Amino acid sequence: MIDVAYVALGSNLGDRAAYLTRARAALAALPNTEVIAESSIEETQPLGPVAQGAYLNQMVALRTSLTPGELLDRLQAIERAEGRTRDVRWGPRTLDLDIVRFEHQRADEPGLRVPHPELPNRDFWQRELSELGVDR
């Protein structure tokens, strides 16, 4: 099944813009996947209790035949390739890739909920989806 997935990109360590650039290239290189739209990049304040620097965030739309679980596995591999570690929950990161939603698929399993449960709480995701023409 071909569907459209919306993936949030974020970075608040090192060369944040370069991490987003490499992430977009890696997403475009995924099998059976095409980047069909990109929101503007915006700077946002971090969420959560850990003191850290501001993020650069962006949303991309992917036309893909990957399932939500397959896409999640690929996103985590891209994060690891860019030096992402998961030491501190809500902590700073080189690259954060989140599946925000799919147009037609849902998932509710350990480690993967689509649409993302934090979507209602993240104004910047809502703005970025709106920029891509998505009605939440």
Q: Which one of 74, 98, 101, 122 is the catalytic residue?
A: 98
Residue 51: the pLDDT is 78
Residue 12 confidence (pLDDT): 94
83: left (phi over 0), alpha (psi -120 to 50) or beta: left
Residue 84 appears among annotated catalytic residues: yes
Please give the DSSP secondary-structure letter assigned to residue 119.
G
Going by the DSSP 8-state scheme, the letter that residue 117 receives in this structure is T
Identify the structural domains of the chain with CATH numbers, from first to last. Answer: 3-131 (3.30.70.560)
The parts of the chain modelled with pLDDT lower than 70 are 88, 90, 136
pLDDT, residue 48, reads 77
Q: Which is catalytic among the residues 84, 87, 89, 122?
A: 84
Active-site pick, 96, 108, 113, 123 = 96
pLDDT at residue number 136:
59
Q: Which of 93, 122, 123, 127 is catalytic?
A: 93
Cβ contact 56:41 at 8 Å: yes
- For the question of residue 93 being annotated catalytic, the response is yes
- pLDDT tens per residue across span 49-79: 777 889 999 999 999 999 999 999 999 999 9
